[in-house]
C-alpha cells in the first residue's frame, strides 16, 4: 500500500510506515498462534482522501474474532469535532493502527492496542495511543507481566511515563455508568505534542512491546480448561466492553464524526455478547474476585 504523503521523510510519513509494518508483524504472529485461520484483508478508500487496510480473523483455533486495522486518511474536520478539539474547522491528516483480539477461551484476556498520529492544517500535531487488558478471570501473574513489559518500554524514555500513563489508562477506561473499570488497565496517552521526535521513538517502543506483553499470556492460558459457566460469564463481561466502545471511546467517536468506514470503526466489538438482567457473581467466587479489582484499580508493578 502506498503511504499518502507529499513529504516522504515527514514525521507523519514515518509514523504511517511504522504503523503499517507493525500491522503486518502482528498479523503474522497472531496467525501463527491461531493455527487454523488467516486474516481476511480488506483494503478500502476514504472518500476525502487516503484509505486503509482492515485485517480480520474470525472463528479460528484461538481467536473468536480479531481485527488489526491500519489507516492513513485526510479530510476536513466537522464543526462538532473541531469544537471538541478546540480549533477552527480545517483540514487534517491522520494515521494509525488499531488492534482488538477476542479469544474463545475465557481464561485468555481480550486485548486492545492502538497508536495514532494526527496533524492539522494549522501545523498542530500530536501522538496518542495505548494498550489495555480485559480479563474475564483474574490471573495476577498475567497482569503483572503485561504491566511490567509496558513499564520497561516507558522507562526507556522517562521515569514518570509508566505511572503517569497507567493512571491515565485507569481513568480513561472507566465505565462511568457502571462505576467500574473495563479491565485491569495498561497505559494510555493522548495529545503528546512536545518533542515530537522523542515522542515518536517512545511510540515505536510501545508498539514493539505490544506482542511481548500479550502473546506470552495467550500461550500460557490457551490450554486452561473452561466450560459453559465460564463462557456465560465471558459473554456477560463482553457487554461491558461493547458499552465502553460505543459510548466513550475516542477512536470510535472520531471515526464516526469524520464519517469514517463503519466496518473498520466497529471491528473492535466482540462477536457474541450477553446482557442478562442483573447478573451477580457468588461471594468469594473467581468472578467476584475480578469485580473487586475492577471497582478499585491496583498497582501491579
Q: 294 is written with which cell numbers? A: 475492577
Name the DSSP letter for residue 172.
Answer: H
Question: Collapsing DSSP states into helix, strand and coil, what is residue 181?
Answer: strand
Question: Collapsing DSSP states into helix, strand and coil, what is residue 159?
Answer: coil
Examine the residue annotation and report whether 157 is marked as an active-site residue of this protein.
no
Question: What region, left, alpha or beta, does residue 185 occupy, with left being phi > 0 and alpha being psi -120 to 50 degrees?
Answer: left
In this structure, are strands 125-134 and 174-175 parallel, antiparallel, or unpaired? Answer: unpaired
Alpha carbons 139 and 57: distance in angstroms, whole number: 26
Task: Count other C-beta atoms under 10 Å from residue 265's C-beta.
Answer: 22
**H or E element that contains 248:** none
Alpha carbons 18 and 79: distance in angstroms, whole number: 31
**H or E element that contains 113:** strand 110-120
Collect all residues with Cβ–Cβ distance below 8 Å to 120 and sequence separation of at least 6.
77, 85, 87, 90, 91, 92
Question: Collapsing DSSP states into helix, strand and coil, what is residue 96?
Answer: strand
**H or E element that contains 35:** none
CB 133 within 8 A of CB 290: no
**H or E element that contains 141:** helix 140-155
Q: Please tell me which residue in 112, 145, 147, 157 is annotated as part of the active site.
A: 112
Name the DSSP letter for residue 54.
Answer: E
Q: Which residues are catalytic?
A: 112
Amino acid at each position: 500500500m502506498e503511504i499518502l504523503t507529499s513529504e516522504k521523510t515527514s514525521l507523519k510519513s514515518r509514523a504511517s510506515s511504522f504503523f503499517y509494518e507493525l500491522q503486518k508483524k502482528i498479523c503474522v504472529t497472531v496467525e501463527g498462534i491461531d493455527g487454523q485461520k488467516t486474516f481476511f484483508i480488506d483494503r478500502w478508500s476514504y472518500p476525502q482522501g487516503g484509505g486503509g487496510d482492515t485485517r480480520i480473523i474470525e472463528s479460528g483455533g484461538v481467536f473468536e474474532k480479531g481485527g488489526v486495522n491500519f489507516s492513513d486518511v485526510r479530510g476536513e474536520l466537522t464543526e462538532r469535532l473541531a469544537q471538541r478539539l478546540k480549533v477552527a474547522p480545517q483540514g487534517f491528516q491522520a494515521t494509525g493502527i488499531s488492534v482488538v483480539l477476542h479469544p474463545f477461551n475465557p481464561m485468555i484476556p481480550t486485548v486492545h492496542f492502538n497508536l495514532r498520529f494526527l496533524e492539522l492544517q494549522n501545523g498542530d500535531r500530536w501522538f496518542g495511543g495505548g494498550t489495555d487488558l480485559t480479563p474475564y478471570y483474574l490471573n495476577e501473574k498475567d497482569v503483572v507481566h503485561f504491566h511490567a513489559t509496558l513499564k520497561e518500554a516507558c522507562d526507556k524514555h522517562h521515569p514518570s511515563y509508566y505511572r503517569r500513563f497507567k493512571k491515565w489508562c485507569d481513568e480513561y477506561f472507566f465505565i462511568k455508568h457502571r462505576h467500574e473499570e473495563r479491565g485491569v488497565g495498561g497505559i494510555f496517552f493522548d495529545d503528546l505534542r512536545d518533542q515530537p521526535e522523542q515522542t515518536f521513538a517512545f511510540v515505536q517502543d510501545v508498539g514493539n512491546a505490544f506482542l511481548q506483553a500479550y502473546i506470552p499470556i495467550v500461550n500460557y492460558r490457551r490450554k486452561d480448561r473452561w466450560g459453559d459457566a465460564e463462557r456465560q460469564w465471558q459473554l456477560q463481561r463482553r457487554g461491558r466492553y461493547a458499552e465502553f466502545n460505543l459510548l466513550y471511546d475516542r477512536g470510535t467517536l472520531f471515526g464516526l464524526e469524520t464519517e469514517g468506514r463503519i466496518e473498520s470503526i466497529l471491528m473492535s466489538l466482540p462477536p457474541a455478547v450477553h446482557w442478562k438482567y442483573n447478573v451477580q457473581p457468588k461471594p468469594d467466587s473467581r468472578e467476584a474476585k475480578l469485580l473487586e479489582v475492577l471497582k478499585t484499580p491496583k498497582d501491579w508493578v
